[in-house]
């Protein structure tokens, strides 16, 4: 597996012409890793540990928060983004090591992975549709330059109005709607993330950042500690 997409595994972490049920611009979405597979024993073992991992998204107006617990809660991340003020903050608790990465959107998006995603070829098939939890979605196919054998497919809904991005390491990728389901498939592994809950009400207390006990560091310091290939999805 190419290093560029290790963050996609590690943090997974990533938008009809039918009459819509409704459109929401604030609310709550929960997504879950529902399918994993690999012929490689070591990779499959890591993937199985990630199966069932859930990501929550709280969004309202220009702001959104993503929250993820991995490996039974051993790794927790909360990312706070405001598109209007261009602010970006991420709180990470990795087995007791707590970091507060304080940055802005321009810096957070200026990663190696984002530059690759910027040149992605995105195509849509509005004849291939799916209803996910009552919301209409249609197929999207994503091809990334220099990533032979990698296929990203999914279903996006224009009825969910938020810029939140759960495709880790692909911050520069712009879709026509919110991805309610997507699958990453390459010669080493396959992983599917699916929406399991949508609510048009948002708990605004979950959008308030609490930094007590976290060590404040810069984006540069964080990438130096975690590795240059680290991607931050939001």
pLDDT digits (tens, 9 = 90+) for 9-23: 443 443 222 233 468
Instruction: State which residues of the chain have pLDDT below 50.
Output: 1-21, 228-234
Element (H, E) at 222: helix 219-226
Q: Enter the tokens of residue 9.
A: 């595994």
Unique residue bearing structure tokens 């399991």: 196
Number of H helices, E strands in the chain: 5, 12
The answer to whether 176 and 156 have CB atoms below 8 angstroms apart is yes
Neighbours of 123 (CB within 10 A): 9
- Please give the pLDDT value at position 149: 85
- Please give the pLDDT value at position 50: 85
Q: Enter the tokens of residue 103.
A: 């940055």
Q: Enter the tokens of residue 127.
A: 């004849």
Give residues with Cβ within 8 angstroms of 208, minimum separation 6: none
For residues 140 and 138, give the distance between their C-alpha atoms in angstroms, rounded to a whole number.
Answer: 7
User: Domains of the chain, with CATH numbers?
Assistant: 3-226 (2.50.20.10)
If you average pLDDT over every residue of the chain, what do you get? 81
- Please give the pLDDT value at position 10: 40
- Please give the pLDDT value at position 12: 40
């Amino acid at each position: 597996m190419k290093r560029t997409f290790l963050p996609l595994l590690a943090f997974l972490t990533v938008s009809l012409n039918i009459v819509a049920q409704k459109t929401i611009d604030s609310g709550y979405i929960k997504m879950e890793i529902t399918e994993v597979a690999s012929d490689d024993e070591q990779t499959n073992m890591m993937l199985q540990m990630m199966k069932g991992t859930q990501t929550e998204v709280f969004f309202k107006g220009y702001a959104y928060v993503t929250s993820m617990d991995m490996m039974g809660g051993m790794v927790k991340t909360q990312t706070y983004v405001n598109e209007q003020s261009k602010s970006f903050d991420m709180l990470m608790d990795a087995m007791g090591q707590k970091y507060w990465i304080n940055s802005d959107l321009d810096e957070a998006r200026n990663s190696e992975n984002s530059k690759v995603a910027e040149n992605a070829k995105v195509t849509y098939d509005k004849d291939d549709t799916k209803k996910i939890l009552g919301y209409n979605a249609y197929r999207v196919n994503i091809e990334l330059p220099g990533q032979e054998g990698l296929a990203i497919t999914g279903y996006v809904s224009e009825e969910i109005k938020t810029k939140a991005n759960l495709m880790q390491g692909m911050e520069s990728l712009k879709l026509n709607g919110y991805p309610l389901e997507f699958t990453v498939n390459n010669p080493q592994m396959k992983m599917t993330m699916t929406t399991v809950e949508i609510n048009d009400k948002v708990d605004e207390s979950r959008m308030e950042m609490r930094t007590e006990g976290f060590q404040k560091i810069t984006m540069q310091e964080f990438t130096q500690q975690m590795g240059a290939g680290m991607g931050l999805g939001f």
